[in-house]
Amino acid sequence: MKEKQKIIIVGAGLCGCLLAICLAQRGYAIALYEKRSDMRKSTIGAGRSINLALSNRGLKALQVAGLKDKVLKETIPMKGRLIHPLGGEKFLSPYSGRPTDYINSVSRPGLNILLLNQIGEYDNIDLYFDSPVTNVNLKEARIEYLSYGGKKTDNGTVIIGTDGL
């Protein structure tokens, strides 16, 4: 039954990619549309990228997809912020009252790329780059999108928006 249900996901950012993986693991057919080009093929300037602080909530979501340990290998533990007061001594302001606690710094594009690579392992996920979705009919689960400058449509059972907006 699930194989016959096609879920259209709009946006291959962090949420869209992870959601696609979780649903694919449950046997759904996924069509994932992303307006940008494949970030694995374009260079991202260090100045335009900012690390994410991955806390327990994010790790739990990754664990559901079986990716927690894989992602943790890419992280740097952060115990707190280093404060540089004007005219004073710098000091560490811990994120938690418990000295053993920390959050995990991870490259945002690095995490996105890890998820995109993971998607490649699922035959039931079709991923379309350079394909901005321009119109959505939720009732009929139909989208319009642009591909190579032309207008196209796709139909599913359900549409889920993970476009970050």
109 scored as a contact of ligand FAD (CB under 6 A):
no
User: Residue 30 — φ and ψ, nearest 5°?
Assistant: -120, 135
Residue 114-153 contact track with ligand FAD, rule CB under 6 A, x = bound? ------------------xx--------------------
2, 28 contact by CB (below 8 A): yes
Position with the least CB separation from ligand FAD: 13
- Please give the distance of CA 84 from its chain centroid, rounded to a whole number: 33
- Binding-site member from 9, 32, 52, 115 for ligand FAD (CB under 6 A): 52
> Three-state DSSP class for 62?
helix
Separation CA 88–CA 99 (nearest Å): 24
> Three-state DSSP class for 152?
strand
Least separation, in Å, of the C-beta of 67 and ligand FAD? 15
- Binding-site member from 5, 15, 72, 122 for ligand FAD (CB under 6 A): 15
Least separation, in Å, of the C-beta of 5 and ligand FAD? 21
